[in-house]
A = this chain, B = another copy of it.
């Protein structure tokens, strides 16, 4: 950021995770909300060929809405987005299913634009253990190999849905910093998906990044969570690990039918219903808190952070400056 941007807090605005039912409406809301870049999920359980089909769908959207969005590949695309008044869309996976059992696909998916890959989505994967498994034996043999290859090509390790030991081992094993794109600290709201102080501190020490989630299941009081409570949580996290490793990863799943959350949770790994973070009585997508309904509401968060006592410079870092620095350092081959 320039000094002016630091002063005014008008640096880049970056959301490190969304999975919307994409439409012109959402892209226009991104513009209204001044969102310069979004990391979008393009695979939950999809294998390689299905993931490529999802990229093809995105390519058609890039062709249809060239004035609103474009495919973001490098940190410099955030500046391009700001210069041209558009939103750069960065691809990522919430599961390693797109690389199947083939380490060579790591470089292939990076060439196709993937920039983040979770090593697990809730369950055990070929690489590591998910946060819903009873036991966490840590990184697998293939997991260690794939992390090294991800480091080499510039595909960022994301442990948002991973279990504790696997996450700490990934921080240790990875030669480049890793991230949790979307979660909250468990000291604030003790959910299986939220992260321990040990994980937060390990990310802070290793130049990693932690993206705060706005998904109600990750929030204290869920849909009733207040902006003040959210900003207080950010402040307490910053006191513990510093402000430079913090950003946003809203986990906004806008306009999705509830069949999609069923797919996210159950994929093809079970024939039964898996409620994930929900329950039999609360199976659907939860309602967003009133102060963060969609992409138009990022301004509420920056105002809330200012009100909580963060400086304009600090707010600029949390709203996107830190993610931009991370993009600059970690999307290119090593």
Contacts and interface: CB of A to CB of B under 8 A. Distances in A.
Contacts of A57: 104
A289 B253 CA distance: 64
Contact of A56 (B49, B53, B105, B113): B105
Interface string A100-133: 0010110110011100000000000000000000
A266 interface: no
B48 A102 contact: no
A60 B104 contact: yes
Nearest to A57: B104
A55 B109 CA distance: 12
A47 to B, nearest CB: 10
A59 B104 contact: yes
A1 interface: no
A52 interface: yes
B108 A56 contact: yes
Is the interface on chain A under 10, 10 to 19, 20 to 34, or 35 or more residues?
Answer: 10 to 19
Interface string A56-86: 1101100000000000000000000000000
A61 to B, nearest CB: 12
Contact of A113 (B48, B59, B104, B111): B111
Contacts of A111: 111-113
Nearest to A71: B111
A331 B55 CA distance: 21
A108 to B, nearest CB: 6
Contacts of A59: 104, 107-108
Contact of A105 (B48, B52, B108): B52
Nearest to A104: B56
Interface of A: 48-49, 52-53, 55-57, 59-60, 102, 104-105, 107-108, 111-113
